[in-house]
A = this chain, B = another copy of it.
Amino acid sequence: MIKVNVHTDHRGLENNLPLERISDTLSGDDSLLWVDVADPTPEDLRLIGAEFAFHPLAMEDALRRHQRPKIDHYDGFLFMVFYGLATDDGRPVAREIDLFVGKNYLVTVHDGTLPAVPETADRWCENVERQGNRGIGLLVYSLLDSIVDGYFPVVDDLADRIEDLEAGVFAEGGSSRDEQAAIFALKKDLLAIRRVLGPERDVMNVLVRRDAPVFGGEEVVYFQDVYDHILRVTDAIDTYRDLLSSALDAHLSMTSYHLNEVVKRLTSSSIILMSMTLIAGIYGMNFAHMPELDWRLGYVWALGLMVAVGAALVALFRRIDWL
């Protein structure tokens, strides 16, 4: 589905322009055009590519998807790959969005819905009507800003999961298979996010450092802002990774601690039982002359002896904390 929004100084904002009228508009110096292509068919992309005269390599990247976040400088336009993060069924998923950025146009290509796109579109339309066209740089900024702002709830979600995990490790005890699986899943999610964030930081670095030909120098401060937010998310992810590995260490240590406890308790118990069995064994011997056997209270004596030995051992093991 292709959606075209155009703003020209003399005609103001026009939404849902037909595709054919794009080339007229592009030539106008005072216009700013945003074409959003959701779930594109190859035919859609071919049309767009022809209209804007995009380089075949950029078209191929937009068609195939699953690119790394990057910024490629082509003659007359920039091609950027970025990812939005969303939480799906409790786990973060990354959704690709490709940006073609020209002097007076922005073309975005993505699968499915990316909340940042309609949000930015609404805000932009509103602003452009109120304040007029403030340039392609600010449009790209507000889109990226909106995408990156969407990272924070996902990251907070991860923080909550780590906290739950932490509580679980120290609270109850015992090494459950679920806990281990949760750690593994978290690690995988962190890796997936890190894989997107690292290259995005590099992309923003390019926008902040070099004076890219398409954006004015005064817009650097805006991209710096997005860059700072990405750094913040990256920092958080790195901290979570470290925390997670600490949690794993703690988990392993607690597992071995519990094993110790169980072994100590069970083996102590078996020694107590063995001692009592030894007494029973002794009085089960068939010697002709065993004075206790003929005692009136021999049986009680034997049972008492067992209880006494058992109790003494229980006390001993309790004292040295083995039971």
Could you tell me the distance between the alpha carbons of A295 and B286 in the complex, rounded to whole angstroms?
11
Q: With both chains docked as a complex, state the minimum distance between the C-beta of A123 and any C-beta of chain B, in angstroms.
A: 14
Considering only residues 196-232 of chain A, those with a C-beta below 8 Å from chain B are: 198-199, 221-222, 224-225, 228, 231-232
Other A-B contacts than A57-B221, A181-B250, 6 sampled, CB-CB below 8 A, are: A67-B232, A174-B321, A184-B249, A195-B235, A252-B252, A263-B263
Are B180 and A68 touching (Cβ within 8 A)?
no
Are B242 and A191 in contact, CB atoms less than 8 angstroms apart? yes
Pick from A231, A248, A289 the residue with the most CB of B within 10 Å: A289
User: Given contacts A264-B266, A273-B271, A274-B270, are A256 and B253 in contact (CB under 8 A)?
Assistant: no
A54 at the A/B interface (Cβ < 8 Å)?
Answer: no
| Contact A299:B274 (CB < 8 A) given known A177-B257, A188-B243, A259-B259 | no
A247 vs chain B, min Cβ distance (A): 7
Q: Are B278 and A180 in contact (CB under 8 A)?
A: no
| Chain B residues whose CB sits within 8 angstroms of the CB of A74 once the complex forms | 221
* Known contacts A74-B221, A191-B242; is-contact A267 B264 (Cβ 8 Å): no
Interface residue tally of chain A, by bracket? 35 or more
Complex contact A286–B289 (CB within 8 A): no
- List B contacts of A25 (CB < 8 A): none
Q: Which one of B258, B287, B306 lies within 8 Å of A293 (CB-CB)?
A: B287
Contact with B along A168-197 (1 / 0, CB 8 A): 001001110100110110011001100100
| B287 adjacent to A283 (CB under 8 Å) | yes
Asked if A1 CB lies within 8 Å of chain B CBs, one says: no
Within 8 A of B (CB), among A131-178: 166, 170, 173-175, 177
Is A49 part of the contact surface with B, judged by Cβ < 8 Å?
no
Does A8 have its Cβ within 8 Å of any Cβ on chain B? Answer: no
Partner of A257, one of B73, B175, B184, B277: B175
B260 & A262 in contact (Cβ 8 Å cutoff): yes
Contact of A263 among B174, B262, B278, B282 (CB under 8 A): B262
Residue of B nearest to A249 (CB): B248
Given contacts A246-B184, A278-B277, A72 and B271 within 8 Å (CB-CB)? no
A interface: dominant SS = helix
Given A177-B257, A253-B180, A266-B271, residue A72 in contact with residue B224 (CB < 8 A): yes
- Mark each residue of chain A from 272 to 315: 1 if its CB lies under 8 Å from any CB of chain B, else 0: 01111110111111111111111111110011001000000000
Please name all residues of chain B whose beta carbon is closer than 8 Å to the beta carbon of A224 when the two chains form the complex. Answer: 72
Q: Report Cα–Cα, A258/B256, bound state, in Å.
A: 11
Residue of B nearest to A188 (CB): B243
A13 at the interface (CB under 8 A from B): no
Question: Min CB distance, A114 to chain B, in Å?
Answer: 21
- Output the least CB separation between A147 and chain B (Å): 17
The 7 A-B pairs with the shortest beta carbon distances in the complex, nearest first, are: A280-B281, A283-B285, A266-B267, A273-B274, A284-B284, A287-B298, A287-B299
- A110: CB under 8 A from chain B? no
> CB-CB < 8 A to A221: which residues of B?
55, 57, 72-74
Nearest CB in chain B to that of A242: its residue? B191
